[in-house]
Chains A and B, each alone.
Chain A
Amino acid sequence: MARNQATVLVIDDEAQIRRFLRAGFELEKFSVTEADSAESGLRAATLQPADLIVVDLGLPDGDGATVVERVRSWSAVPIIVLSVRANEAEKVRLLELGADDYVVKPFGMAELLARARAALRRHRAPGDMQPSVRVGPLTIDLSARAVTLDDVRVPLSPKEYRLLQVLAQHAGNVVTHQHLLREVWGARHIEDTHYLRIFVRKLRRKIEADPTRPRILLTELGVGYRLAQGAEAPVPA
C-alpha cells in the first residue's frame, strides 16, 4: 500500500525517544529521518520533504511551535506534536498554528500511529474528496450530506450536521473548540464554549449508544473534540 512507503521526520533532542520512534515507525514500514534540534529539523524538512513530521514541544534551540509555524509557511505536511500534560493552552496554540494533532508524554506507539495515519489520510484525500467516514455504527456520508446509525438515517439540524462534518473532515484528529465555534457559529462566537458543550451533549444523544460514555464523539479536556477513528473505535464497556 502506498502509505507504507511514507517517510517521517522525527525532531526530538532525546536520543532514546528518537530510537523508539524510529523502531516503532520502521516496524510499520515507514522510513525515518531524524533531527535533534529545531534548526536541523527545519533544514531536513526543506532538503528532503517528508510525508509526516513528528516534533517535540521542547527543543533546546527554540520550541516546537517555531518549527510548526515555519514549516506551515511553505508546506501542508501533517505535523504531530509531542506535548506534556497540564499544558492545554500550549496545545491549543500549536493546533491553531497549524499542527494536525498531538500526543501527551508518556504515550504508546499505537496512539501516535493512529494520530499520524489519520493526519496522513486527510492530507492525501483533502476535504470533500473523502466520500464518507465510518466510526463504529455511525456513517457520515459527506457527498450526500447524510448521517446514518446502523443504516438508519439520523435526523440532524443543519448545525448538528455541520459540526459532524467538520469533525469528520478531521476524523481521528482533534479539532479545537475555537475551530468548531468558528466553523459552525461564526467568528463572533469563538469564546462561547458553553454553546458547544450543550450542543455536543444534545448531539451525543442522537448518535451515541450511551451518551454519558461517548465512544464516537470524544472530548479532549481543555482542547476540543475528536471523532474516534473507525478502525480503533473502542467497543462499549
Chain B
Amino acid sequence: MREFFQGRWIGSGDIPPNEMLAAGAIALVLIAVLTAGLAAASMVANVDHVTSIYLIPVLVAAIRGGVAPAVVAAAAGIGAAAFFFYAPVHDFRVQNTLHIVDLVLFVAVAAVIGRIATNLRRARMREAADRLREALIGSVSHELRTPLTAIVGSASVLAQAPQVERDPRLGPLVAGLREEAERLDAHIQNLLDATSISSEGVRPQIEWIDPADVINAAIERKRTLLEGRPLAVKLAGDPPLVRVDAGLIERALSQVIENAVKYSPAGSPIEIAVERDGDRVRIEVRDRGAGLTAAERERIWERFYRGPRHRDTVAGSGLGLWVAHGLVTACGGAIAAESEGPERGTCIAVHLPAPPYQGAARISETLSETSDETNG
C-alpha cells in the first residue's frame, strides 16, 4: 500500500534496460547502413563532411532510448567517419583541421539533440502517465462509487418505508447503513485525492469564491461528525473573495475539521475564524483538544505520520492532513499548525490567495444600488 503512494509508481521517466539496448542496436545498424551507403556514394562522387549524416542515428537513439544509447551512437558515428572517410582512411586518426572541426561540431550538436530528444521523450511519458492516472482514478472512482450509490440510495428508500420508520430498532439501523456508506465514500475521495497529489496530478479549476461558501460546504459535509459540537464561525469584517478551486479547498477544510473533531474531547467547541491577511485570507480551525508536541508539529504534514500519543487510541490513516496540505498548496495557498503545547488545543491556519479584483472600481459601480446600467 505504501509503495502505491510513494509518488513514483507510474512512469517516472526511467527507461527500461531492454528498450535502451534496442535503441542502441537500432542506431548501430543505422550507422552501418549509412556508412555502406556513403561508401558507395564516395565511389561516384566526392563525399566529405559526413558527420552531419551521422546525426540521424544519434537522434533516433536519443528519442527511443535516452542519453546512454545516444552517446553510443555518437561515438560510433565519430568512429565510422574517422575510419572510413577522413584521411588517413582506414585509420582512426584524423589529420585535416576541417575534419577535426567537423567532429567537434558533431559532438556539440549531438549533445544538444540528445538533450532535446530526451526531454521530448520525458514529456511524452509524463503525458502517457497522466492519461493512465486519469483512467485509473476514473475507473476506481466508478467501480467503487457505483455499489455505494446503490447502497446509499436503497438505504434512503428503506428509511422512508413506514415499517422501518415506525420500528425503533430498524430506523437507526438503516440510518447507520447510509451514514457508514457515506463515510466510505469520503474515504474513497480521500484516497483518490492522495493518488492525485502523489502523482502530481492535481489540476485546480481556479475561480473567485466567497470563503464563507467554502467553509459552509465543508461544515455541511461533516455535519454528522459535528453533531453535539458547539461550532462558531466568525468572519472578521468583510473578508475578500479568494481565488482557488472551491472543491479542493472544501475537501481540505473538511479534513482539517475532521481532525479537529477527532483529536478533541466529545462536546468541546470548534471555532472557525476568517480574516483578511494582506493579499491573503486566513481561515483558522481551532479546537480545545490534544494539541501538539514540538515533535508532532514538525511531522504533522508528513504522509502516514501518526502521533505516538494517538496511534493506538484514535483510528486514522495519517493521510488526512497530508492531503489537506497537498490540496491547499495546489491552489497556491499555505497551511500551518499552531499549538501552545500538548492538551492545549490545536489551530490549523489555511492561507488562501485573495488578489485584488481587476477593475475594482467598476465592480462597485456595477453593484451600486442606484445604478442599474452596467458599465463596460
Contacts and interface: CB of A to CB of B under 8 A. Distances in A.
Interface residues of A, number: 44
Interface stretch (B16-24, B61-69, B148-156): B148-156
B153 A106 contact: yes
A180 B150 CA distance: 34
B153 A107 contact: yes
B355 to A, nearest CB: 11
Interface residues of B, number: 48
Nearest to B142: A58
A198 B151 CA distance: 40
B209 interface: yes
Contact of B367 (A86, A89, A199): A199
Given A193-B207, A201-B210, A16 B145 contact: no
A54 to B, nearest CB: 11
Interface in B223-257: 233, 235, 241, 245-247, 250
Contact of A186 (B160, B178, B213, B374): B374
A106 B148 contact: yes
A20 B367 contact: no
A185 B366 contact: yes
Interface string B354-367: 00010000010011
Contact of A108 (B148, B156, B367): B156
Contacts of A38: none
B156 A109 contact: yes
Interface string B173-193: 000001001100100010010
Interface string A151-174: 000000111000000000000000
A212 B357 contact: no
Given A27-B160, A105-B145, A213 B216 contact: yes
Interface in A26-67: 27, 58
A14 B148 CA distance: 12
Contact of A21 (B153, B245, B367): B153
Given A14-B146, A20-B157, A213-B233, A198 B205 contact: no
B366 A195 contact: yes
A24 B153 contact: yes
A109 B156 CA distance: 6
Contacts of A82: 149
A94 to B, nearest CB: 16
A23 interface: yes
A105 B216 CA distance: 20
Given A17-B146, A24-B153, A193 B208 contact: yes
A222 B209 CA distance: 9
A201 B214 CA distance: 13
A230 interface: no
A142 B161 CA distance: 37
Contact of B157 (A23, A58, A85): A23
B160 A110 contact: yes
A24 B149 CA distance: 14
Interface string A1-26: 00000000000001011011101100
A221 B160 contact: no
B209 to A, nearest CB: 7
Which of A105, A185, A195 counts the most B-chain CB atoms under 10 A from its CB? Answer: A105
Contacts of A222: 205, 207, 245-247
Interface of B: 141-142, 145-154, 156-157, 160-161, 178, 181-182, 185, 189, 192, 205, 207-210, 212-214, 216-217, 233, 235, 241, 245-247, 250, 357, 363, 366-367, 369-370, 372, 374, 376
18 contacts: A14-B149, A16-B154, A17-B153, A24-B153, A84-B142, A86-B189, A89-B205, A106-B149, A107-B153, A108-B153, A109-B157, A157-B369, A188-B374, A194-B241, A195-B363, A221-B209, A222-B205, A222-B246
Given A14-B146, A20-B150, A105-B149, 19 more contacts: A16-B150, A17-B146, A17-B150, A20-B153, A23-B157, A27-B157, A27-B160, A86-B247, A108-B152, A157-B372, A194-B208, A194-B241, A197-B209, A199-B367, A213-B216, A213-B233, A214-B216, A221-B246, A222-B205
